[in-house]
Amino acid sequence: MSAHSFYDCRVSPRAAPLSADERRDAIIDVVVPLLLEHGSDVSTRQIAEAAGIAEGTIFRVFPDKAALWTATAERTLDPEVELAELHTALAGTTDLRSKIVRTADHLLERSQRVMAVMMVMRGVWMHDKTHSPGRPPRFMIDANRALMAGLTELFEPHRGELSVEPEVAASVLRTLALGSRHPGAHADYLLTPDEVADVMLDGVRRRGKD
């Protein structure tokens, strides 16, 4: 066997290096799980270790930590991703109650990711002199509109079963699912997906026998 053929058999080709966009995505992918585990105290060293890269690589892709947090928030609240996840959660369901339960479950899980990201974004905005406290960034507005559009679409086929417009039902579902999830909320007061569905469909007042 020639030296050339021996080399070809023994050495695997090196993987192509990631592009800047691919490296950026790979870094963002590990941030939210770390935020859920460690809160806003997570360090770039922890992020680098989770991504399997040197810490300095982070700052070759993002100019600073604030840019990393912002990119993570934009990804987490991406309207297209939100609608795709909502459609996936509803796949195969036809009756209204099942749709509400599945959507509430999705919203409750998503709220943990969003809350973790928003906690670090508060710190970014506090140090950003261009940020207006009374005006949320565009990506948050777009995310909320996409969510409300998706929830309204959920109720539209069941218009005949509703006592309110689908838009109102969408707002109530969003409020019930997300309203109890906030920093410091006690576990005893968190609504389950089934409780959200029960309150939405039957209310909280006991019905009379007549």
Cα–Cα distance measured from residue 141 to residue 136, given in angstroms and rounded to the nearest whole number = 7
- CA dihedral in degrees (6, 9, 13, 14; nearest 10)? -70
Q: pLDDT digits over 108-158, tens only? A: 888 888 888 988 888 888 877 676 666 788 888 999 999 999 999 999 999
Q: Provide mean pLDDT across the span 182-205.
A: 83
Instruction: Dump the DSSP string for 8-38.
Output: HHH-PPPPPPPPHHHHHHHHHHHHHHHHHHH
Q: pLDDT digits over 28-82, tens only? A: 999 999 999 998 889 999 999 999 999 999 999 999 999 999 999 999 999 898 8
Q: What is the CA radius of gyration of the chain?
A: 23
Q: What is the pLDDT of residue 184?
A: 63
* Average pLDDT along the chain: 85
Are 62 and 71 contacting, i.e. CB atoms less than 8 angstroms apart? yes
The pTM of the full predicted model, rounded to 2 decimals, is 0.78
The structure tokens 């009756």 sit at: 95
Written as six digits, the tokens of 9 are 């058999």
Would the pLDDT of 161 be above 60? yes
Would the pLDDT of 7 be above 50? no
Map out the domains of the chain with their CATH numbers.
17-62 (1.10.10.60), 65-204 (1.10.357)
34 backbone φψ class: left, alpha, beta (φ>0; ψ -120 to 50)? alpha
Q: Which of 9-23, 28-42, 102-116, 160-174 has the lowest mean pLDDT?
A: 9-23
